[in-house]
Amino acid sequence: MSKVSYGNIVDLLSKYSYTPAVAVIQLISLISVYAAGMEIAIYHLPLIGSAITAHIYSAAIVVILGLLLFAAAMRTDSLMLKSLSLLNALFCVIAAFEGLFYFGGYTFPIYAFGMGIGFLGVLFTNAGVILYAIKH
């Protein structure tokens, strides 16, 4: 078994134009989006205050990182990585627009459902990018 060292982790995360590193940072931001969103839903918090602010800013960071992930993947030669990162960026945009409609005043449940579908799409495509980049 090989020892885990700083050099090994840097080599692992710098593959494919740093797509695994960007994907890991996006995954951490996605966890904060989930935590803030569930805090709003579980405790029936109003759409003002720290929870909604954390949710919106974390979601904006996830979208920016999704676009950076797509840009990093476009620099590689892997078609699978390009397609997964494109799907990731599309799911980010879908979740963002559904969130804008939901938190912007149209509080229909279908927009919350759209945010959830976008969230799951980002989560699964992010995991696919990380696993593909580490495996190959």
Q: What is the pLDDT of residues 74-101, one digit of tens each?
A: 999 999 999 999 999 999 999 999 988 9
**CA–CA distance, 118 with 98 (Å, rounded to integer):** 8
Residues 16, 76: contact at Cβ < 8 Å?
yes
Q: Which parts of the chain have pLDDT scores under 50?
A: none
H or E segment and range at residue 18: helix 15-42
Whether the model pTM is above 0.95:
no
Whether the CB-CB separation of 70 and 88 falls below 8 Å is answered with yes
DSSP 72-94: HHHTSS-HHHHHHHHHHHHHHHH
Could you tell me if 34 and 119 are in contact, meaning their C-beta atoms sit under 8 angstroms apart?
yes
